[in-house]
Amino acid sequence: MAGFGVSVEPTGDASGSGTTTAPVRAPRRPSRHEGKRLSVWRVLLALAVVTAVITGGAFGVPYLLRQAQVTPAALTGWFAPYVDVTTTRQQDFVTEMGAPESEVVLAFVVAQAKDQCVPTWGAAYTLDAAASALDLDRRLAKLRSQGGDAMVSFGGQKNTELASACADEASLQKAYAAVIDRYEVGSIDLDIEGAALTDTAAATRRAQAVAALQKERAAKGQPLEVWVTLPVGRQGLTSDGQAAVRTLLAAGVTLSGVNAMTMDYNVDLGGATMGQVAIDALSATHDQVEALWSAAKITLPEGGAWALIGATPMIGQNDVTSEVFTIADAQKLSEFAVSKAIGRMSMWSLNRDRTCGPNYPDPKVVSADCSGVDQGGQSFATVLSAGLTQRPSASPAASSVPTPVTSDDPSTAPYPIWSPDQSYSVGVKVVWHGNVYVAKYWTQGNPQPDDPTLAATESAWTLVGPVLATDTPYALPSVAPGTYAAWSASVAYHAGDKVQVGSTPYVAKWWTQGDDPSLSQTDHERSPWQVLGQ
């Protein structure tokens, strides 16, 4: 990936392409024979050897140098699993085993509709809607506070890719920038598949917009890393995939690498395991990438073409019923990736990294929430990330200054301030010491949500993330005085009766007398009242 590369001048090779990376030279050491004179015969012998190498190995020397740089011990790639942002099972960015992932790929940003150049998550949530309904901004802030980071993926298999929906380069660049700036990412992923892969007009717009973005951000000292993710077969990239790479490179996009979707081959694999087929696909993609960079006269980074290769298997059951990627396949692919020092490893998806529960009737039917295979207590993320220690982009260094305890302000908090005197239903969110928490089950009283002595399994609360400066203050629906009768503790109410406490309206869910309606603001299960309009 970019960042591994060393800036060098082209040296030229036997083909005259001028793209061979020059070997890095160590500082000159004094010779053991410093100051001694060589005999004429030794000089003549040395010249003969050099002549033989030049004339007999014109192709061999550059090849050997390139091969020697493929897997240097100092190079390693990075791991970041895809997270389906719109899945019904919203979660922290953790594996089933509870291990947090330091890097994730948030998927997928697409157009709101075929002719609407508006970025959304899966055509289901605008960026603002994702912040409120999915707490995406808050979850991302939490990830970063714990030392992690994220990149955003544009495109995917479903819906309309932005480059196809936006009419011109300027509008597309604006849409991309809105997402990049909103989530403050330094790396993006262009997932091009399906109809988007053959849309040549969209390909040109995409390439021009991304190149312009990179140039603009570089001028501000904010470099943008770009990966392109493409479908592959056992023979590597399709012709359309290769064309997509050529278009990006020709427009001046600096690609960090090509990420191969090692999944859904939909051909007879001849009895080969999914792990072996992935290795075959990556090897073929490596050769294609090497040729594409050579044709574009772009110098390969240190580590050669392998440093530009990414792999993304679909863990467990693939969309093709006969294709199943097991933990053993993951181990095989992981070992290969480390041995070649590939630039990137991802997987689809972190949401699926768990064994399906016993109530899921047919694991051959792909689930968004489980892998469809018995993982034996192991995590695909843990297996695939082994030995990959780099990061896709730099994150701010952690501050050594202790964070002060925040004083919560009810007038600006996005949710009610937690109180030990209040009861809370499952799913209710509260604010405590500058953070948002969500109740895992009905709870009342102490311990407080941020009690440091409790394990995650012992607390009734889950940390969602920090209160953000962009949060909208929590507010209840309100009505004008006299809209409904004022609630009275001495009056019996029946289901459907409406009252108001102050300016807040309530409706009775069943017969009740003496139960304060305001308690229903956080206790949705046991209170006989419900806030009207919520």
- 65 falls in which pLDDT band (50, 70, 90)? very low
Closest CA to 385 of 350, 427, 421, 420: 350
Q: What are 102-148's pLDDT values in tens digits?
A: 899 999 999 999 999 999 999 999 999 999 999 999 999 999 998 89
Statement to judge: residues 513 and 380 lie in one domain: no
Residue 22 lies in a domain: no
Closest CA to 190 of 141, 232, 230, 157: 230
What pLDDT sits at residue 350?
A: 95
Q: Which helix (H) or strand (E) holds 291?
A: helix 274-295
Q: What percent of the chain has pLDDT over 70?
A: 81
Q: 504: domain CATH number?
A: 2.10.10.20
Domain boundary among 352, 368, 385: 385
Residue 464 has pLDDT above 70, yes or no: yes
- The burial of 210, by beta-carbon neighbours within 10 Å (0-12 exposed, 13-18 middle, 19 or more buried), is given as buried
Cβ within 8 Å of residue 166, ≥6 positions away: 111, 117, 172, 175, 205
Q: 261: domain CATH number?
A: 3.20.20.80
What pLDDT sits at residue 396?
A: 46
Residue 485 has pLDDT above 80, yes or no: yes
The DSSP secondary-structure symbol of 301 reads P
Handedness of CA 299, 304, 307, 313 (dihedral sign): positive
Average pLDDT over residues 375-384: 97
Q: Cα–chain-centroid distance for residue 20? A: 33
Residue 61 has pLDDT above 70, yes or no: no
When the pLDDT of each residue in the chain is averaged and rounded to a whole number, the result is 86
What pLDDT sits at residue 87?
A: 87
Residue 496 lies in a domain: yes
Crossing angle for the helix pair 200-219 and 239-250, to the nearest 10 degrees:
40
* Total domains, the chain: 2
Q: How far apart are CA 463 and CA 405, in angstroms?
A: 15
The pTM (predicted TM-score) of the whole model is 0.80
- 403 falls in which pLDDT band (50, 70, 90)? low
Residue 94 lies in a domain: yes
**Residue 497 structure tokens:** 């009766």
Residue 332 lies in a domain: yes
Residues 318, 347 contacting (CB under 8 angstroms): no
Start-to-end CA distance of the chain, whole Å, equals 49
What pLDDT sits at residue 95?
A: 59
Q: What are 406-429's pLDDT values in tens digits?
A: 789 999 999 999 999 999 999 999
Q: How far apart are CA 35 and CA 390, in angstroms?
A: 45
Residue 97 has pLDDT above 80, yes or no: no
Average pLDDT over residues 87-111: 77
The more confidently predicted of residues 397 and 212 is 212
What pLDDT sits at residue 36?
A: 38
Residue 226 lies in a domain: yes
Domain boundary among 357, 385, 413: 385
- C-alpha torsion angle, residues 452, 453, 456, 457 (rounded to 10): -160
Statement to judge: residues 214 and 336 lie in one domain: yes
Q: What are 237-255's pLDDT values in tens digits?
A: 999 999 999 999 999 999 9
Q: What are 168-207's pLDDT values in tens digits?
A: 999 999 999 999 999 999 999 999 999 999 999 999 999 9
Residue 191 lies in a domain: yes
What pLDDT sits at residue 100?
A: 59
Q: Which helix (H) or strand (E) holds 505?
A: strand 504-508
Residue 34 has pLDDT above 90, yes or no: no
Domain that holds residue 351: 78-385
Residue 445 lies in a domain: no
Closest CA to 243 of 311, 165, 295: 295
The more confidently predicted of residues 34 and 479 is 479
Q: What are 327-352's pLDDT values in tens digits?
A: 999 999 999 999 999 999 999 999 99
What pLDDT sits at residue 74?
A: 56
Statement to judge: residues 493 and 377 lie in one domain: no
Residues 280, 263 contacting (CB under 8 angstroms): no
Statement to judge: residues 205 and 319 lie in one domain: yes
Domain boundary among 336, 360, 385: 385
Residue 472 lies in a domain: no
Q: Which helix (H) or strand (E) holds 262?
A: strand 255-262
Statement to judge: residues 197 and 85 lie in one domain: yes
